Chain A
Amino acid sequence: MFTRRAILGTGLAGLAAGRVLGASAPGAGVTDTEFMLGMSAAFSGPSRGLGIELYRGATAYFEHVNAQGGVGGRRIALKTYDDGYQPDPSVKNTMTLMLEDEVFLLFGYVGTPTVTRVLPMLKKFQDRGMYLFFPFTGAQPQRQPPYGDFAFNLRASYAQETAGLVDNFVRVGRRRIAVFYQADAYGRSGWAGVRAALGRHGERIAGEASYRRGTQFTASMRPQVEILKAARPDAVVCIGAYAACAGFARDAVDLGLRVPIANLSFVGSENLLKLLVEERENSRDYTELLVNSQVVPSYEDTSIPAVREYRDLMDRYDPAPPPELVQEPYTPFPHSFVSLEGFLDAKLMVEVLSRLEDPPTRTGLEQAVFSVRDFDLGIGERVSFGAERRQGLQQVYYTIVDEGRFVTLDDWQKRFAA
């Protein structure tokens, strides 16, 4: 004779089992021969270099793994869509990836305004157990409640990048710091990071100017430069994408704003540099005061094992961007910070997939990530995850332009002392 409580308990257990089974049902992005990952990124528009380079770096490693037989006999496939770095297309792409393509997980999304709009969808469809892995953004929404549980980050945050830049500027006597930023969630995230860091030094943002997302390099940034020039800053921190930030650096130099100009890792350093030096005789004037923070080490430093591996695989596979997504001309860089980040994202992704029990299910993903402890990605800094630690790397690197390429900045005092 079943009691009412026993029947209720059995029913609830059945419901719970149903949810688990529903989330791990065959066909949910994994088969006996394949893991299907979904990616929405900028493959068109002024920021297409970011999506393309991130894709190339990740694909180089995935192709290498597939050539070795895949993960547990399953090759890794990357289903990609272009969102042009715009929120609405990224939401539609995510719907398609989750509901139609039924990918195993989401990987390598690009941008804060896009990711911040996608996160609520992951919560809405949380019964599917979908996670976003290693988005190319250092913003806070995917690092804290209520959406932090649906994403795993590898890179350091914008708060860490901006804090590092501000701390170093203040240390060398540059306390009046202005901000040039993209008028959206990404720009605001960096702006908030600078504000908080300055607040710790008893300072406030000296001046601020913004630009619209999608602004081209050819657009004039003179109004923004004039606004910041009037604030008499000791340094400017830019929170933007390469086209607009290069335009700002160009107009700042042209209008006589000769102060260090810092950019965050998201900017896409090589594309920024390319725009500033291309067809310019006095390119050094435009680049000598640049300082870019990075969340991965320099790809020029071949003493780092992961960098050697990255360069070897990039040279060997030289992945092309998805031809159906790239409609505008783009010449990829043999090596770049963004593609190195994509490469490291893919390397950690493979490690997580290899830790899944067989048959792999989405419900096992979180546990697989949490089992990553002191993992050596090959860059020196070890990676750990846990329930309270959903970001793998913490280190920020600083680079300057020397002889037409970005190199590690060793001495802030010597380079930027006020």
Chain B
Amino acid sequence: MKVKKLFQKTLFGVFSLFGVIGLATSVLCVYTVDTHLSEEYVSNSQDIAKTIADASVDILLNRDLSTLQSLIDQFVEIQGIKYIYVTNEAGEYLAHTFVPGIPEEILAGDPSNTETVERTLPGMGDFVEVGSPILAGVAGAVHVGMDTDLIALKIQRAIGRQVYLISIVFVVGVFAAIWLVNLAARPIGDVLAYAVALAQDAAAEDSGGGGPEAADSRHGKVLERDDEAGELARLFLHCAGNGGAGAVPPAAGT
């Protein structure tokens, strides 16, 4: 599909604009999905940590640590949760899900701190860790580690779907733009062909051949158009003398 030179810049402009829109949409999408999912994961983790913390009060005061371990083992089965640990008020690790042991990075931290932190644990990956105090902190704290790789994967999947859709729209848009531009350019081509034919006829007339009537017979339809292309064709015809001395040149804009 060949595009007229006159419209190549226009097409390039359309593509560029489309690209900018697509890129901006993707960036906004990445930001929105990333922020939204991250917030959702952190919020869910905080809910889980609070649930465990609330349930731990009774267990720590009235029951045994195997029950507490059983409780956190059930929560760690939830997708995205990679580790849970529970400490007492003295900072002692009462129950956890680490294998083969509690990472040094966590042992070095302050277990009473329940603020959300980002952690990189060697051999395990990157995590967002949230905490919740047990009995307002006087009985310890619960910490839940969410796998950020999983969050990233979910974000990538969401963005991938968005980009896939935009790409399809872009490809369809490109072909549609080329087709529309060519549709718009066709009358100009007709006018050009008519002008060339007129010139060829004028040259033939000079050499004793046929006159402008020959061009009319081949490209006469363009003269019947009621748009700018028709006016331009009639103007060419007038200039070529085909309109006669009394012929009135077409009025601009009619």
A and B, one complex? Answer: yes
A210 to B98, CA, bound (A): 7
A27 to B69, CA, bound (A): 38
Task: Give chain A nearest CB distance to B133 CB in angstroms.
Answer: 21
A144 to B66, CA, bound (A): 12
Q: Are A227 and B73 in contact (CB under 8 A)?
A: no
B101 in contact (CB, < 8 A): yes
- Enumerate A93-115 residues with CB–CB distance to B below 8 Å: 112-113
On chain B, the residues within 8 Å of A145 by CB distance are 62-63
- Enumerate A173-190 residues with CB–CB distance to B below 8 Å: 183-189
A224 in contact (CB, < 8 A): yes
Selected from A113, A139, A188, A212, the residue in CB contact (under 8 A) with B95 is A188
B97 in contact (CB, < 8 A): yes
Q: Are A116 and B70 in contact (CB under 8 A)?
A: yes
Selected from B62, B63, B73, B101, the residue in CB contact (under 8 A) with A184 is B73
On chain B, the residues within 8 Å of A224 by CB distance are 100-101
Q: Are B101 and A188 in contact (CB under 8 A)?
A: no
Task: Give chain B nearest CB distance to A412 CB in angstroms.
Answer: 27
On chain B, the residues within 8 Å of A140 by CB distance are 63-64, 66-67
Q: Are B100 and A185 in contact (CB under 8 A)?
A: no
A141 in contact (CB, < 8 A): yes
B68 in contact (CB, < 8 A): yes
Proximity bits, A130-153, B CB within 8 Å = 1, else 0: 000000000111001100000000
Task: Give chain B nearest CB distance to A226 CB in angstroms.
Answer: 9
On chain A, the residues within 8 Å of B64 by CB distance are 139-141, 144, 189, 192
In this complex, the member of B66, B97, B100 whose beta carbon has the largest number of chain A beta carbons within 10 angstroms is B66
On chain A, the residues within 8 Å of B62 by CB distance are 145
On chain B, the residues within 8 Å of A188 by CB distance are 65-66, 68-69, 95
Q: Are A139 and B66 in contact (CB under 8 A)?
A: yes
B247 in contact (CB, < 8 A): no
Task: Give chain B nearest CB distance to A206 CB in angstroms.
Answer: 13
A211 to B99, CA, bound (A): 6
On chain B, the residues within 8 Å of A112 by CB distance are 66
A161 in contact (CB, < 8 A): no
CB contact under 8 A between A209 and B100, given known A113-B73, A185-B73, A188-B95? yes
* Residue of A with least CB distance to B73: A184
* Residue of B with least CB distance to A222: B100
A267 to B68, CA, bound (A): 22
On chain A, the residues within 8 Å of B73 by CB distance are 113, 184-185
A74 in contact (CB, < 8 A): no
A340 to B73, CA, bound (A): 32
A69 to B29, CA, bound (A): 77
Q: Are B100 and A184 in contact (CB under 8 A)?
A: no
On chain B, the residues within 8 Å of A185 by CB distance are 66-67, 69-70, 73
Can you pick out 8 interface pairs between chain A and chain B where the beta carbons lie within 8 Å of each other?
A116-B67, A140-B67, A183-B97, A184-B69, A186-B66, A188-B66, A192-B65, A210-B99
Chain B residues close to A by CB (< 8 Å): 62-70, 73, 95, 97-101
Chain A residues close to B by CB (< 8 Å): 112-113, 116-117, 139-141, 144-145, 183-189, 191-192, 208-212, 223-224, 227
- Seed contacts A183-B98, A208-B101, A211-B100; 7 additional CB < 8 Å A-B pairs: A116-B66, A140-B66, A185-B66, A185-B70, A186-B66, A189-B66, A209-B101
